Amino acid sequence: MEYKTLTELSKELTTKKISSVELTQFFLERIKSFDKKLNSFITVTEDHALQMAKQADEQRAKGEAGRLTGIPFAQKDIFCTRGIKTTCGSKILDNFISPYDATVVKRFNDAGAVLLGKTNMDEFAMGSSNENSYYGPVKNPWDLERVPGGSSGGSAAAVAAYLTPGATGTDTGGSIRQPAALCGISGIKPTYGRVSRYGMIAFASSLDQGGPMARTAEDLALLLQTMSGFDEHDSTSVDKPVPDYLKTLNDPIKGLRIGLPKEFFNQGLDSEISKIIHDAVREYEKLGATVKEISLPNTELSIPAYYVIAPAECSSNLARFDGVRYGYRCDNPKDLEDLYKRSRSEGFGNEVKRRIMIGTYALSAGYYDAYYLKAQKIRGLIRDDFMKAFNEVDVILGPTSPTPAFKLGEKMNDPVSMYLSDIYTIAVNLAGLPAMSIPAGFTKGLPIGMHLIGNLFDEERLLKVAHNYQKVTDWHTKIPEGF
């Protein structure tokens, strides 16, 4: 069963070539053998997993199995799991046992997927390198001295090293796509409102969106199908039918109109990556797509706008961590203010504190118009750029990240340079669009991701476009040496 995709494993379970208990044991063993090197899991739920696997096998014996019944799976530790520690990568939630399941978790449980554990992440999903986790950095399986990307770095590294066939991620400014690119796997950030945010610990509520990470677009289609759909518990969930993503996956893409934004291929882009992306474009031309240059003129403004909106919303969301109702509380508080201040200061890491302070400043009296309102208007400009582009093309294609995985520690003391590594992904969140990253090649042994951006609710087309590429290439099948 080594290195089979999630879809292939699902078939093996259906044809009874293997049981869920055997499959679960296989992945638990791999986690035990390899995760010391990677640190991709915060919690491994071994007993719970074996019990779920046993139930899945019983269900299958009764003929009640679905496509995910008995499939081992990992959840990013931002999703609340009832009775299981949910930390969000933070000391402030180190003792937090969630009293309820996130809707996404519930949907995977209902589908019979087996929870292997909770994956490591940047604290409160704030970061692009996974170095901001209270539980230590995650290592990139392609080079243990390099970062896996972030914030869903644990999920990306675990899938890349085949410690799980799939996992969830969340994407506020690129946190699914950038780690997928840096670890050589596939990941999709759906349209804002497509996947429920209920029980997904909030960072920036107008940008956050959960999505799946796996080896192939076919696997993503199956997982997204399970995750998507209306949820009355999420007030921004969109009540719109979910298409059958698997049904159209194999449809040809002849006549597809691809746009290459010239702003994605400027001097900031590594020349090797540029070449790899252009090779991928040629594959698409062979498949019958037409390609034209387009412009997204306000791309550069996306990062400054994001670093107002995301911190502002985070400062408001993270106000709930007060040391009173749950989570970390400081020792011997002398009064209520001391309780708040020390619990928060001792519980949050540096990047989280920086963002809370930027957000607090931007929302403080007298500054709202200059920062938050201005950023929301830039958001309007960015969306208009995309809408204009989608009048001319069906999908937008480019690199996911301007560089391959960088070295651990390289950008830790310079927040702004870390922020710039998300230049291609952030605008997508500001506009609420769906987008994905799939493997497109290697440079110096490190994987490179191709970024595909679709119009609102166009996940079906994105998955089809990605799957067509994966049928004629094999970048998505590569496994890092030593795993």
Partner 1 sequence: MSLTAADVKKIAHLARLNMSEADIALYTPQLSNILAFVEHMNQADTSHIDPIANPLDLSQRLRKDVVTEKNERDQFQAIAPEVQVGLYLVPKVIEDE
Distance (Å, whole) CA 87 – CA 326: 12
Of 18, 50, 246, 301, the one binding partner 1 (CB under 8 A) is: 301
Strand pairing report for 435-443 and 446-453: antiparallel
Helices 374-389 and 302-317 cross at an angle (nearest 10°) of 130
Among 50, 287, 339, 479, binds partner 1 (CB under 8 A): 339
Contact between 192 and partner 1 (CB under 8 A)? yes
Cα–Cα dist 276/28, whole Å: 35
Which range in 132-140, 269-277, 307-315, 390-398 contacts partner 1 by CB under 8 A? Answer: 307-315
Q: Give the phi and the psi of residue 290 in degrees, each rounded to 5.
A: -105, 145
Does the annotation count 196 as an active-site position? Answer: no
List 133, 175, 237, 315, catalytic entry: 175
Shortest gap between Cβ of 98 and partner 1 (angstroms)? 8
234 vs 394, beta carbon nearer partner 1: 234
* Contact (Cβ atoms closer than 8 angstroms) between residue 411 and residue 288: no
Query: Cα(223)–Cα(243) distance, rounded to whole angstroms?
Result: 13
Contact 152, 171 (CB under 8 A): yes
Q: What residue ranges in 257-344 does DSSP mark as E strands?
A: 257-261, 290-294
Binds partner 1 (CB under 8 A): choice among 265, 340, 442, 483: 340
Binding footprint of partner 1, residue count (CB under 8 A): 71
Residue 287 or 420: which CB sits closer to partner 1? 420
Is 175 part of the annotated catalytic residue set?
A: yes
356 to 375, contacts with partner 1 by CB under 8 A?
A: 356-358, 360-361, 364, 371, 373-375
Report the site for partner 1 in 405-444 (rule: CB under 8 A). Answer: 415-416, 419, 430-433
Query: Within positions 258 to 287, which residues make up the interface with partner 1, using CB under 8 A?
Result: none
Residue 269 tokens read as 């882009």
The answer to whether the beta carbons of residues 38 and 137 sit under 8 Å apart is no
Q: In angstroms, what is the minimal distance from the CB of 37 to partner 1?
A: 31
Of residues 62-81, which lie at the interface with partner 1 (CB under 8 A)? Answer: none
Residue 305 as a binder of partner 1 (CB under 8 A): the answer is: yes
Asked if 241 interacts with partner 1 (CB under 8 A), we say: no
Angstrom distances, CA of residue 242 to CA of 246, 314, 457, 460 = 11, 30, 9, 9
377 counts as binding partner 1 under rule CB under 8 A: yes
What is the bridge-based pairing of β-strands 41-44 and 114-119? antiparallel
CB of 379 to partner 1, least distance (A): 4
Residues with catalytic function = 76, 151, 175
